[in-house]
Amino acid sequence: MSETEAVRREEPPAEPSGWTSAINEDWAATIVGLLLLVLVITGVIPTGLVP
């Protein structure tokens, strides 16, 4: 096994946790943002409630 291969095998790539969670945070942010907007325009969150 070459040195490069050895190094690669002991190094999990940076992608999986970071990228997967970034995708999840994308969807979470989209859902939370749109939900809050809908609550605002339907009056569930009224004017003056947000400090």
Distance separating alpha carbons of residues 33 and 27, to the nearest angstrom:
10
Q: Binding of other proteins at residue 5 (CB under 8 A)? A: no
Site residues for other proteins, window 16-45 (CB under 8 A)? Answer: 16-19, 21-23, 25-34, 36-38, 40-41, 45
| Cβ–Cβ < 8 Å for 45, 39 | yes
Distance separating alpha carbons of residues 9 and 5, to the nearest angstrom:
6
In angstroms, give the least distance from the CB of 40 to other proteins. Answer: 5
Residues forming contacts to other proteins in the complex (CB under 8 A) are: 3, 7-8, 10-19, 21-23, 25-34, 36-38, 40-41, 45-47, 49-51
